[in-house]
Structure 1
């Protein structure tokens, strides 16, 4: 009935054009059925349904066509009631509302133009332009044809003056991009890349066989525009960000990846055209936009923090470690010069800068407060952490008592001085310990968590007020006081 629908325009959304088309359709139905009741019923449920009901009941009396849908059988009485009331509203207790007539005038746009520019030229808002032209599907007028734009009455002179004074490159911006078909591409992959439908892509390029593309073929891609007038192409990201490619590893989730790069899972879905609930798989490449100044932010994040060395254990990910220490994953990668494609491995040492919630001094106690002196001979397989755990002290204390540097190692037969009963020996919540929150994961046990964090299981139970009857569950947060160093 003369209504156009393409990438730019859907005239079914224009009330005036849609009303004229509906009236023509209703008139054609009346010519087919020769009765207004049957024509209205066909308008509601379709002429085929009405013809089947007539053949089934052997009558053309609308009131006898009981096989019609209930909505259609009620549609005619509603229509008749509305017509009767509208003929004399006051007699039925209705008041005719006072409305302002919708007046407008036309201006002809020769080429495709951005609606934001048109609205600014007319001195009205973008919302007003869209309300006057509801048939426009995009934030621009159609290409390759002139368009009659509706603007509020009295704005024509102002529009023509402002619009014609603009440079041509600002008035008529291209609403399409050119794409050269590469090996392995199809209309489906190209449509996903540029966020357009296959139907629109085929229509713009006049493609009859959608399954046949040739390598090197040039396609015209109609591209959406945002309200600000920028092209929404898949390879454009937010300003101040740089694009990286991340290869999905086994066990990855969008939540973990988003946490690693200090972004949101829904943004990763949008950048990669993933639907909610759509799974990712190992080897898949994801596009992620990260802030360009993230490295500088990471270096500044060392202020007012304590240095902790974390030894990677089997099953660890940067996201899990960041969650345990309450730091950003991108900071961990920056502190340890880890690139996006690099993986961590069991036994690897990661430097972390963790906030210290205690304001007391970190100085080691003097000899008067050290308590009883013990000399310990290092055995094969010993580590300073294990020795500190055995004597209920900290690694930092042992290094200080034996004048050891942070990078120093111990060897079998070496003698270490340890002070038992020192005021600094307690593993309670003091200045030599840092409080972290560990989120329980599936398959975790208290003993496994205690072993990974080099603390006693009884201590974890005490810190979190757990007893032997309590069970831990995935998602539960446990407070753990770990030793620095």
Structure 2
């Protein structure tokens, strides 16, 4: 009897071990979710609208922290790329900075997101709405996918809805489904309270405000759920945008900056054919910030009327190519008197860089003695220079200058060539006349036929000494 009892006892322990071990293992690796704790955090959440812990809010939060953990961590990393841009335009339009969380609801911070209804971009503009705010949408460009242009348009659209309704709950609902539907719901409910009139709105709009509350909660409390933002490559963490007049090839610019073309495409998703067309208004061009001086140097010399006597070559390349990463991670020990905002300003980054480099949310305040991770130029990974009342910051990242690279015609070694890009609808005859050069010579230099239709963005070359001294584009 004793042997049977002992055998049963150990069998029971073995079975319990099989049941408990996976649960312990799962609990150690999966995000934590306690509804009571979430409710308490929501009560204290700094939110643009009064948060409520409804079943819809709960469902969205669980989706972020439990069901779609990997996608959420990737999205949190993209905050580094886009939140500083959003905050710039929110301040410019004097709007609450919490509105930046709306892009999480709209697109999960994916600038190329397209809905089944045809809405596109970070802010999910429909074509007609985008055009009403001046966004260009054609076969060459879709500025709904341009983070800079679309964000500026979104701020104007949000400000318009708030001016109309005087309530951010109603303004957000109108952003999603249109002002007309919100007005009809107000009349049906005889109320301006969103929670009372929401049953008269479409299902997607009824869930829109709860989704915004959940997105706000996520940004403030992702660390409490053991989520770790997956940071994008360093060149995507420091975008810099300039305005250009068009007639530019993204591939050509990527080559001269020695930047992977995939990175150039990720930073400039609005250009469908990899080409910035000519336009009456400027377009935007975004590159990693470390390469901005080199880009500006190139842009200042690419037009023929900027080149003295057309003798300087038109192609520029970085002087040296290095396989070493441009940035390196270092630790800084936080000192008494350091302030997060001033520290970020001195580093010329946003506070979001400091927060996400350290896996922290908006309420994070480093304590004296705490080790803070920084991403600094690899050329000066440890050298820190005093700046602004004793604050220690990394030395700036030097940008290699662009050096002229003469390109010779293999069949005729005399003279340098200048390069131009064809615009939509141009033929060899039209472009030769526009440049003021002989048509036959132009066709010979480029192996083309007279009156041949050129693809938009095609690069053509013209011998420098053949161009008239008066710039053809003046």
Sort the TM-score into its range (normalised by shorter chain): 0.3 to 0.5
TM-score, scaled relative to structure 1: 0.34
Task: Please identify which structure carries the higher strand content.
Answer: 1
TM-score, scaled relative to structure 2: 0.34
Structure with larger Rg:
1
Task: Please identify which structure carries the higher helix content.
Answer: 2
